[in-house]
Structure formats: structure tokens, C-alpha cells
Amino acid sequence: MNEAAPLAWGRHYLAVEPTAFRIDYVINPFMDPMVQPDAARALRQWHTMVDTLRGLGARVDVIEQRDDAPDMVYAMNLGLGVVRPDGTRHAVMSHMRYAQRRMETATAQPWLVRHGWTTSYVGRDSIGAHFEAGDAFAFGDSLVVGYGPRTEELALKHLALDLGVRVRGLRITHPSMYHLDLAFCPLDERRALVCPEALDGPSGEALLALVPEPLVLTAEEAIGTLCANSVVVGSTIVMPACPDRVRTQLEAWGFDIVLVDVSEFHKAGGSIRCLTNPVVAGSTTSPPGTAGRSRPRVRTTG
């Protein structure tokens, strides 16, 4: 693999044990209350995933699932964690678009505070712009944020002001890739899995321009396998599936691939990335190249 710095995040995760996982409603194209997950199998799959991450050297902290929050297992969307320049750990809590999920942060936020985090909100209850952390990634010199289906464009400005960072907004238009984490998976500082078909034309072009060495996925690959919804621990990519073409390129780059079956969770529209929250999504609130700027900036495409 050509020399490239590993991700500054990905060795400490927050996850929610699926003790109450089920499909009670429909908020994405994958969900069907008539097709329920097998609870026992889902629990086994989740524990295998957690054991795999820990076996690779990652830390995984676990929050108990609320009985009234069946989607809380998708911990990625609880909030966006960063480390401020003074070393303070801070989380911007998600303000879910759908009311069925908003109670999740009422449990996650106190947990974070008890463990030494400060927290803030873009919006809360029925007030303010919606923001879901599955749309946000620290990459390059920016916080890259998808908006449209779940996160509102107005939230980007709030994130820039709250965190003091440059925010690059990308408009998501594909209904089945409703979060950016279904179409974008950073691998290191230069490489990422990218599905431009999830975005409108200008946003797709902007994302490809942002990633020096993109591995471009088709919509069929991204939706059919959820392979972009993966996590990286060092040089190992933990994936739910990996098309042969994608595997060939990843291995040529020097990555190891570990497949973990989380198919029960695909029934509600999420995979390994959705099930894990990299508690520190960036090592600083000033991504490389932005230190010292007097004003945060927002750039939206589309």
C-alpha cells in the first residue's frame, strides 16, 4: 500500500446491544414490519461484530437499548464525537428527522456526560434543524456532511459554528442511500469507497474531487451489499460483504478484509457502520489545513 496516514478515528466505538431490535415502522426503503429480524440471530451477529472489532484492537463501549427505541441499535446516529483543541471530548447530539427515533439521544446524552463528554445540539425535540450523525465524516480538511433525506442543509451552518470547522455539504438524492454512510467510507487520508450515484451530479463530482484515490462503487454494489457501510481499524476493513472487484482493489492497496454477517440488521437499512459510532470522529475540531482560520465556512454542492 502506498504511504498514507491511517484514519485518526476508528479505534474507539460506541454500540448499542440489540435487546429490543425490531421493525415497528417504515422510515426508509429497506424497512417492512412484515419482515421482522430474527432477534436471537441478530444478537449473535452483533456480538460477533463486537468481538471482531475488539479482536482487532478497537475499544467498544456498550449502551443499553431502550425498549421503546427499536432503531437505537444503529448507534452511528446518536451523535458526532470530536476532540476540541483543548483536549475536551465533545459530542453534537443528533436531532433525528423522524420522531420515532428522537428518544434515543435522551439515553445517549446522559451516558456521554457521565463518561466525561460535553454535549450540544443542532436542534432538539421539535425545534431546530435536523441532523443525523450518519451523514457526517471528518475527511481531508473538512467535515463532510450529506444532507437531504435526513439531515437538513441548515444544520451544516450550525455544525460549522458549533465546532469551528469547515463543512462541505453534499446533497443526497438516492432514496435507498438516505445517509452518507451508505455511500461513503473513508479508508485512510487518501482513499475511500465512494458511490457518486447517491448524490446529485455536482455533489458526486465534488466528492470524487475531494478523495485523491476513490474506489467508485455502483449503486447496485452499494445498495445490494451495503459494502460502504463498513468500518476501518488500522489497515483492516470490517465489512458486511465485499464484491470481488472491490476486494481486488482493496487488497492491492494493502488492506485486510474481514467479513462479518450482520444481515438481520440489513432488514432495517443499516450495517456495520450504522451499528457502531466512532466516538471520536476527528482528532481535532480544526481538520488539517484549517487551523487558525477566524471563521468556520460552509460549502454546499447541488
pLDDT tens-digit readout, 233-277? 999 999 999 999 999 999 999 999 999 999 999 999 999 999 999
pLDDT of 291 higher than 90:
no
Question: Stretch 139-167: mean pLDDT, rounded?
Answer: 95
Give the domains, in start order, of the chain with CATH numbers. 12-22+33-292 (3.75.10.10)
Angstrom distance (rounded) from CA 55 to CA 30 = 30
The pLDDT, as a whole number, for residue 6 is 66
Angstrom distance (rounded) from CA 192 to CA 101 = 29
Q: Which residues pair with 172 in a beta bridge?
A: 199
- 168 in the Ramachandran plot: left (φ > 0), alpha (ψ -120 to 50) or beta? beta
Who has greater pLDDT, 16 or 88? 16
Cell of 21: 431490535
Q: How confident is the model at residue 81 (pLDDT cuts 50, 70, 90)?
A: very high
Q: Which of 115-119, 158-162, 298-302 has the lowest mean pLDDT?
A: 298-302
Q: How confident is the model at residue 289 (pLDDT cuts 50, 70, 90)?
A: very low
Q: How confident is the model at residue 141 (pLDDT cuts 50, 70, 90)?
A: confident
Q: What percent of the chain has pLDDT over 90?
A: 83
Q: Where are the alpha helices (DSSP H) in the chain?
A: 39-55, 104-114, 153-163, 201-210, 219-225, 244-252, 263-266, 272-275
Q: CB of 65 within 8 A of CB of 20?
A: yes
Question: How many contiguous H segments (helices) and E segments (strands) does the chain have?
Answer: 8, 16
Half-sphere exposure of 73 (CA within 13 A, CB side): 29
Q: What are phi and psi of 225, to 5 degrees?
A: -115, -15
pLDDT of 285 higher than 50:
no
